[in-house]
Amino acid sequence: MFDFLEGYDLLGAFWTTVRLTVLSAVGALIWGTVLAAMRVSPVPLMRGFGTTYVNVVRNIPLTVIIVFTSLGLFQTLGVTLGARDFTTINFRLAVLGLTVYTAAFVCEALRSGINTVPVGQMEAARAIGLTFPQALGYIVLPQAFRSVVAPLANVLIALTKNTTVAAAIGVAEAAALMRVMIENEAQLILISAVFAFGFICLTLPAGLFLGWVSKKVSVKR
Amino acid sequence: MKAYRTTIAAVAALGLALAAAGCGDDGDSGDGKKITIGIKFDQPGIGLKTPSGSYTGFDVDVATYIANELGHKSGDIVWKEAKSADRETLLQRGDVDFIAASYSITPTRSEKVDFAGPYLLAHQDVLIRADDNSITKPEDLNSKKLCSVTGSTSAQNVKTRIAPDAQLQEYGGYSECLTGLENNAVDALTTDDSILAGYAAQSQFEGKFKLAGFKMSNENYGIGVPKGSELKAKINAALQKMVADGTWNQYVQKNFGPANYKNEPAPQIGVIVS
Amino acid sequence: MTSESVLYDTPGPRAKRRNRLYTALFLVALAGVLWWVFRSLADKNQLEWAKWRPFFTDAGAWNTFLLPGLRNTLKAASLAIVIALPLGALFGVARLSEHRAVRGAAGTVVEFFRAIPVLILMLFANAAYAEFTDVSPDDRPLYAVVTGLVLYNGSVLAEIVRAGIQALPAGQTDAAKAIGMRKNQVMRFVLLPQSVTAMLPAIVSQLVVIVKDTALGGALLGFSELLASVRPMSANYGANTIASFTVVTVIFVAVNFTLTTFANWLEARLRRGKRSTGAVLGADTVEELATPGEHVTHEDLGGPGDLPKR
């Protein structure tokens, strides 16, 4: 019944999906944290930049960003991100695009987390003489991170689903393989079911696990 | 009450958006019998939709000539986009009367549709930068970066038969490849020389690109008609007349001339060069 | 913490000096990036006026490519929300059913479609229309995009509806039952109408998600929406990729920013409203609802509800 899978690297495609997800998640977490720090910083210019970035990027379709990395950055401006062959270049461009997009959502999740930290925490930190970066790094962010596990998990799961957009620039992940298989094989329903199942396997357990983690680590107030 | 009014406002705004989206179709002009012709919308020199909403290119000129010969005024032609993958379906379903869209006559396609013509003999070729002297024979494409459109057979041709070490990037359209070619992100763009010539002939690209002149395959462009259609004979007659009265030559010069494209002589009707 | 300004004191002289230093450093970094962008663009001739001019002086660029593209984008998005709303309402109410089987079935459907990328749904719909129906190839991309969007967003809207109904104070149901209404009357005449108001900001926000996802159809299904207009434009205007992308992006941002602003305005207005129940499903809840297995809790809703204040 599953003969049609023969000759297709299904696991390889989903492995690419996972690699895209993990690398973009790390990138988005780092860049999103920097953005969040900017958005709450005392420097008006940085605040302005953070706010503008989030409001603009959240309103651009991810597809536009991903396609732009290939046509705009690579084909027009010659940005190759240190890679030489098309496969690696496309993969890295996709990670870059997903990072740029997802960071805006990470930033918003973190900011809402920062807003749940009681004022007294920051006041106490200042009272013992911590500077703003110290207070943010030692007092506010550690608490904020714990309360944002659930929102961040939402962002991560959305990111997993969003990696399919990389098919638009020829990254051989799950959706790209599905496209090829639909073209060449007759069992449309079965093929679609296989890919749907694959994504359910990726997103549902992650959601449940991170939901459990978020209850475990959340700060009791 | 306030909340209620807000609801109304929101619903009204949604409705407005819908209404704006709905009223899109503009009527056709012309009064005679309509004829629907499938062409490419995004290939300069072959079939291109221009900003003014009109269409230009060799296929468009040929199709207009045929339509006139069939007794339709130019204003009565309804142009429809015929993407490569949709061409057989469009004919089989009767969505178009005939198709002139860089449509090569092949045995597989001939099982599903009939072809009039051929009206142009094209060859698979590569377009390279004008100052690129490193590609002089097809084998030079090894280790080069090649660009083509998704699902195109020409790119697979090169990769499997001619230059197995070439890297291949695929995009949805040729214009994407052209951007990369101009900026050194890819080294060669491969497809039929007629299509390539159409791109190279655009004024903004003048002098930037050249055709390598490899005749890697023979592509006999035909006019696709539904299987068993009586249009085939009429279109063949029109094509013969077009070649005889010099119009064919004039169209070739007009559409491909600026690219320094060495066109093949007008093909004989029904003779397929393989 | 209510406002960001409580993170730091009013700056003293040293802090002011430090802030000025940071501002200067950040400005230098920002200027460096902008300079690099400008240089790269200039190097690749992307700043030539000829590549940008069509968008300012040529009505054809708008009438032939951009506006028809935008119209298709809005058409797909409006169709998707109009079809998805009743479906979402149906499944949202079904998930609140007293019958376990109904609840379970609706729940499975909703969780299933929330767990799958919308692109997978679109690819499936596209192939399915080609194989099982005789929708013309012209219309197929629109059908496929709308179908994918409806399946996905219908399930997200089901969660919005469910959360919207649950956000209403229990007193509403009690009062309705007290005057002798039956279950479906309570739902139809009391809960749904009020929850629609509470859900409006979330629904408008979901519209932003829908508008953004239509671009998938342009990139992968041959749907001639706004993003897809980049190709004919760069074919006509000499490979002006950067210029075309910039214009398309600005239009997308303008449309979505308008929707977002409208959603926030609605939310603020509804929260101020005195005569409503005050329950509002905020625009920000949308992301949570897109996650399989995730549900909005009472605390997210912000309405007074019947829960004790935190």
ipTM given for this complex: 0.91
pLDDT beyond 80 at C228:
yes
| pLDDT at position B69 | 92
| Contact flag B185-A71 (C-beta cutoff 8 Å) | no
Cα of A85 to nearest chain B Cα, Å? 7
| pLDDT at position A194 | 95
Rounded to the nearest angstrom, the gap between the alpha carbon of residue C172 and the centroid of all alpha carbons in its chain is 30
**Which of B3-17, B64-78, C296-310 shows the highest mean pLDDT?**
B64-78
Q: Mean pLDDT lowest for which of A73-87, A93-107, B170-184, C66-80? A: B170-184
Give me the domains of chain A, ranges plus CATH numbers: 3-217 (1.10.3720.10)
B24 vs C contacts (CB less than 8 Å): 68, 71, 75
Say which residue, C262 or B28, is predicted with more confidence: C262
DSSP state, residue A5:
G
CA distance linking residue C291 with residue A154, whole number of Å: 6
CA distance linking residue C196 with residue A54, whole number of Å: 29
pLDDT beyond 80 at C1:
no
Q: How confident is the model at residue C290 (pLDDT cuts 50, 70, 90)?
A: low
Percent of chain C with pLDDT over 90: 54
**Closest Cα partner for B197 from B91, B45, B84, B72?**
B45
**Closest residue in chain B to residue C54, using alpha carbons only:** B51
Across the range C242-255, mean pLDDT stands at: 95
pLDDT beyond 90 at C14:
no
CB pairs under 8 A between A and B: 30
| Contact flag B89-C137 (C-beta cutoff 8 Å) | yes
> What six digits make up the tokens of C299?
């605390």
| Contact flag B183-A77 (C-beta cutoff 8 Å) | yes
CA distance linking residue B75 with residue B64, whole number of Å: 10
C230 vs A contacts (CB less than 8 Å): 67, 71
Q: Cα torsion at B100, B104, B106, B109 (round to 10°)?
A: -40
Nearest by CB to C294, from A55, A154, A182: name it: A154
Across the range A139-166, mean pLDDT stands at: 90
Nearest by CB to B167, from A80, A86, A183: name it: A86
Across the range B31-52, mean pLDDT stands at: 86
pLDDT beyond 50 at C301:
no
Q: What is chain B's Cα-based Rg?
A: 22
| pLDDT at position C280 | 74
Say which residue, C297 or C137, is predicted with more confidence: C137
| Contact flag A86-B145 (C-beta cutoff 8 Å) | yes
**Closest Cα partner for B126 from B207, B192, B206?**
B192
- In chain B, % helix, strand, coil (3-state, to 5) comes to 40, 25, 35
Q: How far apart are the first and last CA of chain A?
A: 55
B183 to chain A, any CB pair closer than 8 A? The answer is yes
> What six digits make up the tokens of B77?
């032609």
Extended strands (E) in chain C: none
Mean pLDDT score across all residues of chain C: 86
Fold of B122-211: D-Maltodextrin-Binding Protein; domain 2 (3.40.190)
| pLDDT at position B259 | 65
B167 vs A contacts (CB less than 8 Å): 85-86
B186 to chain A, any CB pair closer than 8 A? The answer is yes
pLDDT beyond 50 at C117:
yes
Cα of B11 to nearest chain C Cα, Å? 9
Across the range A160-169, mean pLDDT stands at: 95
> What six digits make up the tokens of A138?
């030692």
| pLDDT at position A126 | 87
Nearest by CB to B185, from A74, A170, A183: name it: A74
| Contact flag C287-A140 (C-beta cutoff 8 Å) | no
CA distance linking residue C179 with residue C171, whole number of Å: 12
| Contact flag A78-B184 (C-beta cutoff 8 Å) | yes
Percent of chain A with pLDDT over 70: 99
Say which residue, B17 or B169, is predicted with more confidence: B169
A211 vs C contacts (CB less than 8 Å): 293-294
A21 and A102 Cβ atoms separated by less than 8 Å: no
| pLDDT at position C58 | 83
What is the residue extent of each domain of chain C? 4-43, 49-301
Q: Do domains B35-121+219-259 and B122-211 have the same CATH topology?
A: yes
Cα of A76 to nearest chain C Cα, Å? 7
Q: How confident is the model at residue C309 (pLDDT cuts 50, 70, 90)?
A: very low
pLDDT beyond 90 at A94:
yes
CB pairs under 8 A between A and C: 192
C58 vs B contacts (CB less than 8 Å): 51
| pLDDT at position B174 | 82
Q: How confident is the model at residue C103 (pLDDT cuts 50, 70, 90)?
A: very high
CA distance linking residue A201 with residue C182, whole number of Å: 41
Q: How confident is the model at residue C293 (pLDDT cuts 50, 70, 90)?
A: low
Q: How confident is the model at residue B151 (pLDDT cuts 50, 70, 90)?
A: low
- Give every CB contact of residue A28 below 8 A, 6+ residues apart in sequence: A98, A99, A101, A102, A103, A105, A106, A155, A159
Helices first, then strands: H and E counts in chain A: 10, 0
Nearest by CB to C78, from B17, B93, B204: name it: B17
CA distance linking residue C190 with residue C201, whole number of Å: 20
| Contact flag C252-A76 (C-beta cutoff 8 Å) | no
Q: Mean pLDDT lowest for which of B186-195, C234-243, C282-291? A: C282-291
B194 and B221 Cβ atoms separated by less than 8 Å: yes
| Contact flag B44-C197 (C-beta cutoff 8 Å) | no
Question: C310: buried, middle or exposed (CB in 10 Å: 19+, 13-18, 0-12)?
Answer: exposed
DSSP string, C124-164: HHHHHHHHH----TTTHHHHHHHHHHHHHHHHHHHHHHHHH
Q: How confident is the model at residue C308 (pLDDT cuts 50, 70, 90)?
A: very low
Cα of C186 to nearest chain A Cα, Å? 33
> What six digits make up the tokens of A167?
């098919």
Question: A81: buried, middle or exposed (CB in 10 Å: 19+, 13-18, 0-12)?
Answer: middle
Q: What digits encode the pLDDT tens for the residues B155-207?
A: 777 878 888 888 888 887 787 888 889 888 899 999 999 889 888 877 777 78
| Contact flag B3-C275 (C-beta cutoff 8 Å) | yes
Q: How confident is the model at residue A55 (pLDDT cuts 50, 70, 90)?
A: very high
- Give every CB contact of residue C221 below 8 A, 6+ residues apart in sequence: C122, C123, C126, C141, C144, C145
CA distance linking residue A204 with residue A202, whole number of Å: 6
What is the residue extent of each domain of chain B? 35-121+219-259, 122-211
Percent of chain B with pLDDT over 90: 31
CA distance linking residue B77 with residue B64, whole number of Å: 8
Mean pLDDT score across all residues of chain B: 83
| pLDDT at position C310 | 30
A71 vs B contacts (CB less than 8 Å): 171, 176, 179
Q: What digits encode the pLDDT tens for the residues B197-244?
A: 888 877 777 788 888 888 888 889 999 999 998 999 999 999 999 999
Does 3.40.50.11540 match the CATH number of domain B35-121+219-259?
Answer: no
Burial C7-31 (b: 16+ CB within 10 A, else e): bbeeeeeeeeebbeeeeeebeeeee
CA distance linking residue C62 with residue C68, whole number of Å: 8
pLDDT beyond 70 at B272:
yes
Across the range C237-244, mean pLDDT stands at: 85
Across the range C227-252, mean pLDDT stands at: 89
| pLDDT at position C304 | 36
Does 1.10.3720.10 match the CATH number of domain C49-301?
Answer: yes
Q: How confident is the model at residue C288 (pLDDT cuts 50, 70, 90)?
A: low
| pLDDT at position A147 | 84
Nearest by CB to B173, from C60, C231, C269: name it: C231
| Contact flag C64-B90 (C-beta cutoff 8 Å) | no
DSSP bridge pairs for B115: B224
- Give every CB contact of residue C309 below 8 A, 6+ residues apart in sequence: none
Across the range B60-87, mean pLDDT stands at: 90
